[in-house]
Each structure stands twice: as C-alpha cells, then as structure tokens.
Amino acid sequence: MTAVYNRSLFGTDGVRGEANCYPMTIEVCEGLADALVQRYCRCAGAESTTKPMVLIGKDTRISGDVFEHALAAKFCSLGVSVALLGVVSTPLLSEWVRKFPAELGIMVSASHNIFSDNGLKVFKSQGLKLTDLEEQEIETIMQNGLQCSNSLGERVGTCRHLDPAPLKFYEKILGSVEKIALGTLVVDAANGSLAPVVGEIFRDFGAIVINDIPNGVNINHHCGAAHPSAIAEAVLRHKADVGIAFDGDGDRLILADHNGAIIDGDHILAILVESANMHAGEVVSTVMANLAFEHYLTSRGIKLVRTNVGDKYIAEYMANSKANIGGEPSGHIILKDHLPTGDALFAALKVLEYSAKFGRSISELGRIFQSYPTVSRNIKIKDKTILANRHIQAAIEKFQHQLHAHNARLVVRPSGTESLIRIYAEGNQKSPLENVVNQLENLLKREEI
C-alpha cells in the first residue's frame, strides 16, 4: 500500500498523531525511512561498502513496538543497519546518536501526549532535531514518490539491540550531589521512558518514586510533568521537601516545593542561571517565557532571546551561539555543555546539586522572581488555519494593542502537536487578561461554526 502525503507531516516536535491513523501509520513510517535514507544515507545499500547506522528508541506506549519494528524493517531493507535501544529517554537517544556515531536517530514517542497517540522525533548525527527546512526537504522527497531500491545479498542492513546504559551516562553528576542535604524527595516518572531509571537513581537518595510501573496505556495518565497537580499533591501527601516530575519521554521537568507550589521551566532556568553565577550573555527561551523572567534576567545583565515555541528552535539557536542555558516554561531545559537537546533528569540533578551545595531550599530557589499573572486557554478546533482568517487576525492585533497599554502581552498560536489553538496572556493585572482571552475564545468558536 502506498501512503499519500497530502498535508504537512511535521509539527512542532516531529511527526505526531493517533497511532494507526494518518500520519502515524506503518506506511508513513516506511515512506519517512526511505526519504531519510535518500537525504542522509544516499541510498546506501546501492554502492556503499560501509552500511550506515540508524538508532531507534521508544517510550512505553503500547504502540511503540509497531513503529519501532516498521522503521527497523524498512531501514534494513534499504541497506541501513539498525540498533534498537528499546525503552529510552529522548535525551539519551540524542547522546547515543552523537557518540556511536550514527547517521540518524529516531525516537518513537508522543512525549507528553496520551497513550493512544504516538510520534517520531528525528535526530541528526550531531544529536540535534531536524530544522524546518530539513523537514520540508524530507516531505518533498516523500511527495515526489521517488524511492531507493531494496538492497540485495550482503548489502541488506542488520538489526541488533543496544543497551543505552543510562546509569553510566549520569554517573558524574550523581557523584557530585550531596544526597543527605536534600531532605525527602518524591519523584514522578510519568510511567514513561525514565521509569526503569529513576527508581535506581533516586531510591539511593531515599526518595519516594511514583508512577514508575508502565503498562503501555498509563504513560502521562494524570501524572508527570504534563499534570503538575499530581506531583504537588504527592509532595503534600508524603510531607516531602521536593517534588520532581518528568514527562513520558524524559525531556520535560517540573518541580514542586514542600508547600506543593509548582516550579515551572522559567523558574528552573533562573535556578540554573544562579548556579552558574551568570551576570552576562544570553539565555534562550520562547515567546511563552514570562515577562517577569525576562525582567529578572535583565536585572542580572543577561539578555533573553525568544524563539518560536518548541525546544528544537531553542536548540538550533544555541547551537549557533555562545548561549549555554535554554528552555521553555513547559519544562524543556537545555544545558548545551551537557547535551544539545533537553535532558530533564540531568537538569533535575543540577538543581539538586546546587540546592544541596549552597544550602538553599527548593522553596527559596523557586521564589527567585515572582511570575506575572497569566491566563491561558486551549481551544479545541477542527481547522487550525482559522488563524489566517482576516477577522481573527484583526481581533488579535486589536487585543494585543489593548493589552500592551496595560504593560501586558498576548500570544495566540496553533498547537504543533494537537488540534488546538493556544491563547496565552500575561501582565501585572489579571482582569484585563481574562477579559481579552474570553472575548478571543468566543470569537474563535463563532468563526468556526
């Protein structure tokens, strides 16, 4: 069966959708593998004597095996050898692609989405995700319908399993954390990629580990970084000092203090800025970063660089600049000296290291600056191109000018991973924000009818 590529495959973070529905089908996986071989491996099996290598990892979703095996089979048929890392975090796959080295890495994961979704994140040999331009090139190849010839004889690729050795990867940072000074920890593994790892790491800290028994359908289910209230409630229930929550593929981090107060990505970045004793340079975030975070950085002589929403845009900017710290409010945290992509577990350990070394509680660190009030709304929408409607655009511009007069701002954008329009407003006073967001939500719903 030939897949038809009649619309954009790639969203904010790779290919994503409901498993076994377009675009997350076996046929699309095979077409993507073929296009990637043409773009990065030059139809290797045809003439090359050395077989290129692709690494494949997955999270704990029930559909992970389907897409892992589909990709592996197609790559091998085209003369590309495959190493399967099994259940692994996205940052660890990125590291293995760099160190192996491999031409490509593919993470089968829908990150923070529900279990019935799945996705494909593609990493180049440098451990970075594809750029928008590279994604467009891949889609063009797929739409043109040109395919590599299957390899024959000895040129067929091989497939083997590879132990990602996560404990060895974090060995150095683990040795520098003064565990006794941390108090009681609660760690939420989101029933995801980090579930096999966090128990071994954090129980050595005397931590209480929750949501670490994945069954294929409970990943991110009312737990993890996508549901911060779960870690806040767990901290209060266990009378803990710190709560740590990861997402399904281990690239997002959210913290909670002993009062159950949530510490988001902006505040985690502030903690890392203080731990690095930064007083100059750049920190990279997105258009969603809170204004108060920007003002905090300015007070330290640091420039906040804002990119489009998505950790890959942050990583792209950082790869071409001197910036070492970046991330977004949702909890993607990138420390370039460690990895070119977000690593939630490493970021958590760095925060704990700083807290223990300088005797500053997570509660104190979480109050480095006070976020401005925000109002956000996710509007379910059938067609996200509604934002191109001239009436909608005019209304958004009017509301943006209106909020600007109140020293506030408005961001309206389509979700790159779900059928949603995301509305976000922030400023010193909450009432003008709520008024604007309510009006805009009503307008979007009326225009869609």
Residues marked as catalytic? 111
DSSP letters spanning 267-323: HHHHHHHHHTT--SSEEEEETTS-HHHHHHHHHTT-EEEEE-SSHHHHHHHHHTSS-
CB-side exposure of 384: number of CA atoms within 13 Å?
17
DSSP letters spanning 16-76: EEETTBTTBSHHHHHHHHHHHIIIII-SGGGT-SS--EEEEEE-S-TTHHHHHHHHHHHHH
Beta-bridge partner residues of 81: 53
- Coil vs helix vs strand at 220: coil
Residue 148 contacts residue 43 (beta carbons within 8 Å) = yes
Question: What phi and psi values does residue 308 have, to the nearest 5 degrees?
Answer: -65, 160
Least Cα distance to 90 among 174, 9, 190 occurs for 190
- Other CB atoms within a 10 A radius of the CB of residue 385 amount to 8
Task: Indicate the angle between helix axes 26-36 and 64-77, nearest 10 degrees.
Answer: 40
Residue 384 contacts residue 415 (beta carbons within 8 Å) = yes
What distance in Å separates the CA atoms of residue 124 and residue 133, rounded to the nearest whole number? 13
What distance in Å separates the CA atoms of residue 123 and residue 131, rounded to the nearest whole number? 10
